[in-house]
Structure 1
Amino acid sequence: MKLYTIGGYNEVGKNMTAIEVRDEIVILDMGYHMEELIDMENPVESTATKSLIHSGVIANDRELYKQKEKVKGIVIGHGHLDHVGAIAKMAGSYNCPIFASPYTMKIIEEQISQDDKEVKNERIVLEPGKIHNLTSKFAIEFVKVTHSIPDTMLTVLHTPDGRVAYGLDFRIDRNPVLGNTV
């Protein structure tokens, strides 16, 4: 198993991680670096992807892009822009489906509709507790967690090498304002 820490590890935001198992890769999150986004002079929708990478608004996915045929899925845990904002700019470079919870997928759809790039990736809505078999090496499961945005999920990747739990943002909230206690 190989872990790619592409964005969100040296800064707050610009979240993007990938897991490789036996020549297949799943990307987790594609977000904006919010401080860099706020400092931009031009609207992000009309800014080229390369310019956004150069300015630090989105993660540099060069290492993954060189292996784009290995990428089998993009999984988004929740709808904050530091996790989902770069989908419209980056997802179309990968020939694979995008997975998200129902609310998060609505945010993704809105981001894509506002952008100049065409994103043809299949979009698959996953409910918590269901396991989706992506390939023989990856299955995806969402586990509901509380956060400051509805439909936040911790992602569990089931692989032949074991399970990987990925969740950068969540909080233990015994009395959430929205939804049930998890």
Structure 2
Amino acid sequence: MRLSIDSHDETNELTDEQIKTVEELLQFTADVEEVTEGAELSVTFVTNERIQQVNKEYRDKDQPTDVISFALEEMGEGEIEIIGAVQPRILGDIIISIPRAREQAEEYGHSFMRELGFLSVHGLLHLLGYDHMTDSDEKVMFTKQKEILNQYGLKRSEEF
């Protein structure tokens, strides 16, 4: 397996099967993106209140959101890249709001699992350097997400 995934369900709402599906989808995405073997990431499933705290603390936005990614490979201003002994590639952290995923699944008319999958892939693509700050970047990222989800078999209900 390409990824070493550390999953935590702080909500205790997800089944083992749902967590397993998310992990398999992340592995599938890593294969598509040819991520280095042995790369590490964490996925934490949280409440709206918890993701709002994180959003406020790290993004200065005092509101809940659906997914937040913290890429550990991004170089911040004044940071120096350390090159040395072979170490695992640590991609970062993905935090997903379970209540928002449920709300959005209903709003978009597809399954909760499809929405959870979308948010997981979205988060991982951010860790891999994709973004949607410009229209052209958004088109690239969202096309990639849709392709990965369709290839995996998590299509939106209107796409069947």
The answer to whether TM tops 0.5 is no
TM-score range, shorter chain: under 0.3
TM normalised by structure 1 equals: 0.25
TM normalised by structure 2 equals: 0.27
Which is richer in strand? 1
